[in-house]
Amino acid sequence: MIRFGISTLPPDDDDAGFLDRLVERGHGAVELPFVKGFPWKERRCRQFGELAAERGVVVSIHAPYFAILTSDDPDKSKKTLSALEHTMKLGHALGSRVVVAHTGYVKGRTAEELHELVAASLEVIEPKVRHLGVALGLEVGGSDRAFGTLGDIALIAEQFSFVHPVVDWAHLHAVSNGALRTIESFAGVISFLRDNFAGWTLDPLHAQFTDNQFGSAGEIRHVPYGEGTLRIAPLIEAAVVAGLRMTLISEAHEESSHDAIQAEMEAALRAARPEPTADHRVAASGAIEFPSQVFVDPEGDSFPLVGGDRPLRLSNVDKPFFSDGYTKGDLITYYGAVAPLLLPHLKDRAIVLARFPDGADGEWFYEKQAPTHTPEWLPTFPLPSDHRGEAIDYVTAPDAESLMWIANLGAIEIHPWLSRVMAPDRPDFAVFDLDPADGATWDQVVMVANLVNVVLERLGLAGYPKTSGATGLHIYVPIEPEHEYRRVRRFVEAIGRLITGADPDLATMEWDIPKRAGKVFIDHNQNVGGKTIASVYSVRPRPGAPVSTPLLWSEVETVDPTEFTIATVWDRLARHGDLFAPVLRGGQSLERAEEALGIASSE
């Protein structure tokens, strides 16, 4: 889906009428240019955001031009960062998913010096804005004075997961000396984005567009659409072919240019992506508003995927799979839509299939060996099995079609190994599985989780919580893949023993199930080679189709773990992105923690 909007401020006294007129003109977005200061207070932002949400209009803000990240004057930096923080809080009040900002200016400094300044600035504001659910969109620079190529922004986003790229296509056109003239040139930029940014930061891509005049130093000024050399049609065609969702903001100065860009965009959309024919249909039931749909072309009992990168035949898409009425097609569509967030967590991991051929309430079984009908395009990986006496070929999931194929098997849950296939005996995270036994409450789970977090912080380690999707909580501790499973398991066990020893009425590590009653079971034996745990963003086979969802530590005590389902999780994911992205970065070792815990560190 490509959503079109404009950059403008409404009149002071008619927000509802202004938004109605946008909708009448077919605009689905508006960017408020707070570029010179803050014309609105939080109250009006909240009211405007509510009105926009009622009409399905997406709202973003462009932060003041002076709110940059590269100031090296301490007093000025404090003011600019304060302005940026305030803009993001206003964005939160508006319900915005992104606040657009300029990274800063070169001023004779090296790229390394500028990156250090940006990192230092973001470290100051991150604790103040990370929980807001508003992305900081860094706009690509349009001249040799501005700092922030797409490569620069990619490096920043890799370090700070709340940073997203904002592509100003006019800026890229200017700094490339007018190179964006063909479908292939736009496709090259989209390919670069896909290769260098996490998928969820591009879903949708926030972008700006207008025609412009440029010279040897970059952009000079915007011009009415058609007077320059930048055109919208080849961008739209490239985006449709790539399956790129985008919110496109026209920054033109004239209403006639807005209209011309929109008209050409809509014509290009019709040409590049014809409406599904009467023979095509969505796989989902229609009970859920997914951010993207899976289209199929029914052929008897088979449903070939339409528009996919891989040949895929689905089956029984209308079969009820959950007691709430959600279907197998809903499950398949969920995994197709969540792929940008989930796939990085499955990269190079063997997957155990938890198959529910008759849905969540039916008989089920685990399957490790890839089925004989696994398509040739889906990679499998052999891993030795002492129990079997020979290698087991596990499936992997490198792309969205792989996830949909797995879901089509009735695999409601995604169960990846804790280690990657390149180093199967060395996990890259430790897992605390907190499982409330009969009689235990969610409040008790929260208490144990907070105790685990306190111990981790005292040991100099960071842990990241997620709902299990059932009744418990998982805490992941990212580590470098340098420790064998037994060493990681011993580390988790040592912390578990500390907690159960401190409050034996709260938590237990007792293997006798009846003795766990009323307590939270800390299962350290999840940290075993070949043993798996439901992945982040995995659906669980329970009523409502709950999803294992990352949490901020600040919300663990107040969250309702049942509120995240395949129907309700989308706004949260759009606002927060992948809260589990730090788990992928690893970077932690257990050696100092082991020493503090009195554990022998020898393998």
Q: What is the pLDDT confidence band of residue 250, given thresholds at 50, 70 and 90?
A: very high
Measured CA distances, 245 to 271, 277, 299, 601 (Å):
17, 21, 29, 48
User: Which amino acid type is present at position 313?
Assistant: R
pTM above 0.85, yes or no: no
> Does 281-416 match 429-536+580-597 in CATH topology?
no
User: Which amino acid type is present at position 414?
Assistant: I
Over residues 400-415, mean pLDDT: 95
Residue 381 pLDDT more than 90? yes
pLDDT at 569: 93
Pick the CATH number of 429-536+580-597 from 2.40.50.140, 3.40.50.12660, 3.40.50.620, 3.30.70.3300: 3.30.70.3300
**Weakest-pLDDT range from 181-185, 241-245, 273-277:** 273-277
pLDDT at 203: 82
3-class secondary structure, 433:
strand
Q: Where are the alpha helices (DSSP H) in 11-110?
A: 15-24, 42-55, 74-94
pLDDT at 280: 80
Q: What is the pLDDT confidence band of residue 291, given thresholds at 50, 70 and 90?
A: confident
Residue 494 pLDDT more than 80? yes
pLDDT at 276: 52
pLDDT at 277: 53
CB atoms < 10 A from the CB of 585, how many? 12
Over residues 156-163, mean pLDDT: 90
Phi then psi dihedrals of residue 115, to 5 deg: -65, -40
CB neighbour list of residue 85: distance below 8 Å, 6 or more residues apart: 125, 128, 129
Average per-residue pLDDT in the chain?
92
* Distance of alpha carbon 534 from the chain centroid: 18
As a whole number of Å, the end-to-end CA separation of the chain is 51
Q: What is the pLDDT of residues 10-50, one digit of tens each?
A: 988 899 999 999 999 999 999 999 999 999 999 999 999 99
Pick the CATH number of 2-272 from 3.90.550.10, 3.40.605.10, 3.20.20.150, 3.90.1330.10: 3.20.20.150
Q: Could you check whether the bond before residue 204 is cis, i.e. omega within 30 degrees of 0?
A: yes
pLDDT at 334: 96
Rg (Cα) of the chain, in Å, rounded? 25
Q: What is the pLDDT confidence band of residue 278, given thresholds at 50, 70 and 90?
A: low
pLDDT at 571: 87
Task: Quote the tokens at residue 2.
Answer: 């490509």
Domain boundaries, the chain: 2-272, 281-416, 429-536+580-597
Residue 290 pLDDT more than 60? yes
The CATH code that applies to domain 281-416 is 3.90.920.10
CB neighbour list of residue 20: distance below 8 Å, 6 or more residues apart: 55
